[in-house]
């Protein structure tokens, strides 16, 4: 396919998968439980953090975690202390355990009390054409409180050549606003043009088959290459093609 044919093909697939029906099978359904901006942010961030492995397990544990937080994640975070941590003790998702969760809740509380919230921490370090340095700085802010060293592995650092799939997915959820009903678009201080595709095995394999990506590893260098290809197709909203790449890989076995 030439560029025009490829764009038409992918745009068609975006229209198929960027639809409210997509929510039913995706972890994004967890933040869709809420209407308060901060509830959406915190629910989205936490479920994105555990978004690896079996999708049904991710969704099940996301709902379970929200229930443990009284289905009021922002209120729970802002009032979180060691005294009310017992209700969360049974939580575990793969290698993300209750110790990691306690650390994350304290860090989120610090960000909302002392740094103006999640959106501000990401937006303040956003660069002209990339959010990857902002993710690096976010990680430093997030872990500025005392924490177990093992917990740091649950937030990737693009400046250490990570594709940072889960945080890029979270940013897509918060920033994109196309009125399709899937992504939220509640962050107004970051342009969708700065976003990067949540690169994983599915989107990576499809991108290679479509000659959007040549690098074999799904790392930070591959993400930069894919970013360049997708921005050539749509410089204003490149990550809309995440719906096409993911949908082709997961649902169509492309």
How far apart are the C-alpha atoms of 146 and 149, rounded to whole Å? 9
Q: Count the neighbouring beta carbons within 10 Å of the beta carbon of residue 41.
A: 27
Please tell me the distance from the alpha carbon of residue 252 to that of residue 34, in angstroms, as a whole number: 30
Per-residue burial over 159-188, b = 16 or more CB atoms within 10 Å of its CB, e = otherwise: eeebbbbbbbbbbbbbbbeeebebbbebbe
Sign of CA dihedral 49, 50, 53, 56: negative
pLDDT over 90 percentage in the chain:
92
Question: Using 50, 70 and 90 to split pLDDT, how confident is the model at 155?
Answer: very high
Conformational region of residue 185, where left means phi above 0, alpha means psi within -120 to 50, and beta covers everything else: left
How many structural domains does the chain have? 1
pLDDT for 215 beyond 90 = yes
211: domain range? 3-250
Whole-number average pLDDT of the chain: 95
Q: Which of 88-92, 146-150, 211-215 has the highest mean pLDDT?
A: 211-215
* Predicted local distance difference test score (pLDDT) of residue 121: 97
């Amino acid at each position: 396919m030439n560029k025009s044919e490829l764009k038409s093909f992918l745009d068609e697939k975006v229209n198929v998968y960027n639809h409210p029906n997509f929510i039913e099978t995706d972890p994004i359904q967890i933040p869709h439980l809420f209407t308060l901006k901060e509830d959406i942010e915190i629910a989205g961030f936490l479920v994105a953090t555990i978004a690896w492995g079996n999708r049904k397990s991710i969704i099940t544990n996301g709902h379970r975690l929200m229930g443990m937080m009284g289905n009021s994640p922002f209120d729970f975070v802002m009032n979180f202390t060691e005294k009310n941590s017992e209700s969360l003790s049974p939580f575990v998702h793969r290698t993300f355990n209750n110790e990691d969760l306690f650390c994350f809740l304290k860090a989120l509380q610090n960000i909302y009390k002392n740094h103006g919230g999640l959106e501000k921490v990401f937006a303040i370090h956003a660069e002209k054409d990339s959010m990857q340095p902002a993710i690096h700085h976010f990680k430093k802010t997030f872990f500025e409180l005392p924490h177990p060293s093992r917990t740091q592995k649950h937030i990737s650092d693009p400046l250490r050549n990570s594709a940072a799939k889960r945080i890029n997915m979270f940013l897509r959820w918060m920033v994109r606003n196309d009125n399709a009903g899937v992504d939220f678009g509640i962050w107004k201080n970051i342009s969708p043009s700065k976003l990067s595709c949540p690169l994983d095995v599915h989107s990576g394999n499809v991108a290679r088959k479509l000659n959007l990506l040549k690098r074999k590893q799904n790392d930070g260098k591959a993400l930069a290459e894919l970013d360049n290809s997708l921005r050539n197709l749509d410089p204003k909203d490149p990550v809309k093609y995440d719906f096409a790449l993911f949908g082709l890989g997961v649902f169509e076995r492309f």
